[in-house]
Amino acid sequence: MTQSKSENPKKTAGGKKGQGSTQKVRLATVWLGGCSGCHMSFLDLDERLIDLAAAVDLVYSPIADVKTFPEDVDVVLVEGAVANVDHLELAEQLRERSKIVVSFGDCAVTGNVTSLRNKIPVDDLLTKVYHEGPGAVPRGGETDKVVPALIPRVLPLHQVIPVDAFIPGCPPDPERIWTAVSALLAGEPVVLEDRMRKFG
Ligand code: SF4
């Protein structure tokens, strides 16, 4: 994992209330073009989630019913690659509103599984899936234009917005997630051992 910003989210968050503030770090997690496996691995932190809950306010996440990405987020973990126009918009929004943006898992870091469709032009892909696949063309989706349009190529997050840190893995195992997140929340440099820097 690399980290290009040295900003201390805890110190910065505490600074809003002045010296000695106990204000929690504002943590968000985002699900773009991924399978949710990275979030499942995050939940596998198990009892460490209790320690995490003591240190953070979870202000936005697929596991919380929050509709709009909030202002003034300290750390955001982003699962998944950028695959459609909604992902593009959310990526830009979360960058504007967050101090530290983390590419969370191989799809965010490299495109990974989500980018397997990159060799196929979008129109050909939609035709294959919706018009030549088995069964009837489903209602909604591409037929009714109610789902966000695919962008021509799936992109890793850092090709869309500046990213401050990377956690590889498909999914990253709980140990490396905890190593990275606990360091980020403490405002310390994140150092992953070699065995934690592998993809897949
Ligand atoms: S990195 Fe792996 S586990 Fe995470 S979203 Fe992508 S495919 Fe799923």
Domains in the chain and their CATH numbers? 9-118+150-196 (3.40.50.700)
Cβ atoms of residues 101 and 76 within 8 Å: yes
* The dihedral formed by the CA atoms of 113, 143, 69 and 34, expressed in degrees to the nearest 10: -10
Going by alpha carbons, the residue nearest to atom 6 of ligand 1 is: 107
- The CA angle 106-110-111, to the nearest 5 degrees, is 90
User: In whole angstroms, what is the distance from residue 35 CA to residue 107 CA?
Assistant: 9
Distance 153 CA to ligand 1 centre (A): 18
pLDDT band for 22, please (50, 70, 90 cuts).
Answer: low
Q: Residue 33 CA: which ligand 1 atom is closest? A: 5
Task: Give the pLDDT confidence of 119-151 residue by residue, as tens digits.
Answer: 999 988 888 887 777 776 666 556 666 778 899
Which of 42, 154, 166, 170 for mutating ligand 1's site (highest number of atoms within 8 Å of CB)? 170
Which pTM was predicted? 0.87
Q: What percent of the chain has pLDDT over 90?
A: 66
Task: Give the pLDDT confidence of 81-131 residue by residue, as tens digits.
Answer: 999 999 999 999 999 999 999 999 999 999 999 999 999 999 888 888 877
Distance 14 CA to ligand 1 centre (A): 33
For 50, the token pair is 């209790």
Distance 126 CA to ligand 1 centre (A): 22
pLDDT mean over 150-171:
96
Q: What are the angstrom distances between the C-alpha of 35 and each of 32, 129, 143, 170, 171?
A: 9, 18, 23, 10, 10
Q: Residue 105 CA: which ligand 1 atom is closest? A: 1
Cβ atoms of residues 58 and 64 within 8 Å: yes
Distance 43 CA to ligand 1 centre (A): 14
Strands 165-167 and 25-31: unpaired
In this predicted structure, the answer to whether residue 20 has a pLDDT above a threshold of 70 is no
Amino acid (1-letter code) at residue 93: Q
Cβ atoms of residues 154 and 91 within 8 Å: no
Hunting for tokens 């500046």 — which residue is that? 162
User: In whole angstroms, what is the distance from residue 55 CA to residue 193 CA?
Assistant: 24
